[in-house]
Structure 1
Amino acid sequence: MKIVFSLYVFFSCLSCFAQTDTSNLQFHQITEELQYGYSKPRFFDLFVNIPKNYVDLGKGIATKDGAKLLGITAALTAVLIPLDQDLVNHTQNISANVGLSRSHRYKKLIGGMDFPTNISSFYYHLGHGNTSMVYATGLLVTGLIKKDYRAIHTSVEIGESILTLGVMTQGLKRVFGRQTPNRAVVDGGKWQFFPNLKEYMVNTPNYDAFPSGHMATLTATFTVIARNYPEVKWIKPVGYTMMGLLGVEMMNSGVHWAGDYPLGILIGYAVGTVSSNRRITKVENKKFSYNKTKYTPELTVTSFLGQPMLGARVVF
Structure 2
Amino acid sequence: MREDYMQLTAPVFNVQTYSIHDGPGIRVTVFLKGCPLRCLWCANPESNLATPQLMTYGTKCTGCGRCLSVCPKNAISIGPDKNGKMIAITDRARCVDCGKCVDICPNEAREIAGKPMTVKEVLDKVLRDKLFIDASGGGMTVSGGECLMHPDFTEALLYAAKQAGLHTAIESCSFASREVIDQVFQYVDLGLLDVKHMDSDKHKEYTGVPNWVILDNIKHVYHDLKVPVIVRVPTIPGYNDSDENIAATAQFTRDELGPDVPVNLLPYHRLGESKNESLGKEINWSIEIPTDEHMEHLKAIVESYGLKAQIGG
Please state which band the TM-score falls in when normalised by the shorter chain: under 0.3
> Of Structure 1 and Structure 2, which has the larger fraction of its residues in strand?
2
Q: TM-score, normalising length from structure 1?
A: 0.23
- Of structures 1 and 2, the one with the larger relative CO (CA 8 A, separation 6+) is 1
Q: TM-score, normalising length from structure 2?
A: 0.23
> Of Structure 1 and Structure 2, which has the larger fraction of its residues in helix?
1
Larger radius of gyration between Structure 1 and Structure 2: 1
